[in-house]
Amino acid sequence: MQFKKFKDESGFDFCFPVEYNPCKADAVSYPGLSSVDFTLEMPDEFLFIEVKNLDNPNIPQDVIERERRKFIIKTKKSSKCASNCPRDGICPKCGKIQFVCETHSKLKDTLLKRLAKGEIFTKPIVYVLLFEFRGFDYEQRRRLFELIKTNFPRFAEDEYSSIHSIKFLLYDSKNFKEKYTDFNINPTRSEAEKIPAKAGNYI
């Protein structure tokens, strides 16, 4: 089996079998349109993958902390914010929690681009959010899953006619590996790990 390798997507290196035609979907950018990270065509399904790794050790700590904080605020239902909080994490356009809105937009934009090219999805589309975050317990993950699932984007009737079905799944990297055993996923090694420190260097 031949593999295609994609390095450092949110702190993971991915290897997918070439026969599934793996594409890094956001490599081609269209103005104003977002995209999921990977698309593959498997024997029984189209697989769309979005990767969000808040445990990525290669991102500067302050950036991660900001992301995490926003994310935790985002998934809490807070009706009243302090005056210095500009409704952090809420999409100004649709009022959804921003992460949920982004996750939906990426799916919708990816699909609309491909439908516009005349593609017909004769097999189920499985949209996987690979979400790595130790800061979330089981209950918080479940809630995130529900939030994304219950507010799923709608498509117009004629768009739907070209789509067999869409299923949403939330995995962490461990579950994902167990489910898709012919993929290979490994944490991206940081530059610091690749270059052995010289004697006498400060670390």
Q: Give the shortest CB-100-to-Zn ion separation in angstroms.
A: 8
Residue with tokens 């590996």: 177
For Zn ion, the closer CB: 40 or 107: 107
For Zn ion, the closer CB: 56 or 98: 98
Give contact residues for Zn ion (rule: CB under 5 A).
91, 93-94, 101
For Zn ion, the closer CB: 95 or 118: 95
For Zn ion, the closer CB: 124 or 153: 153
Residue type, 133: F
For Zn ion, the closer CB: 31 or 92: 92
Q: Give the shortest CB-41-to-Zn ion separation in angstroms.
A: 29
106 contacts 50 by C-beta, under 8 angstroms: yes
φ, ψ dihedrals at 67, nearest 5°:
-60, -50
Q: Give the shortest CB-11-to-Zn ion separation in angstroms.
A: 26
Q: Assign 7 to helix, strand or coil.
A: strand
Q: Assign 36 to helix, strand or coil.
A: coil
In whole angstroms, give the CA distance from residue 88 to residue 106: 20
In whole angstroms, give the CA distance from residue 97 to residue 16: 32
φ, ψ dihedrals at 2, nearest 5°:
-90, 145
Residue type, 184: N
In whole angstroms, give the CA distance from residue 66 to residue 70: 6
Q: Assign 81 to helix, strand or coil.
A: coil
Q: Give the shortest CB-93-to-Zn ion separation in angstroms.
A: 4
Q: Give the shortest CB-199-to-Zn ion separation in angstroms.
A: 53
For Zn ion, the closer CB: 93 or 194: 93
Q: Give the shortest CB-33-to-Zn ion separation in angstroms.
A: 14
Calculate the alpha carbon distances from 116 to 43, 81, 119, 123, 142 in Å.
23, 41, 7, 18, 34
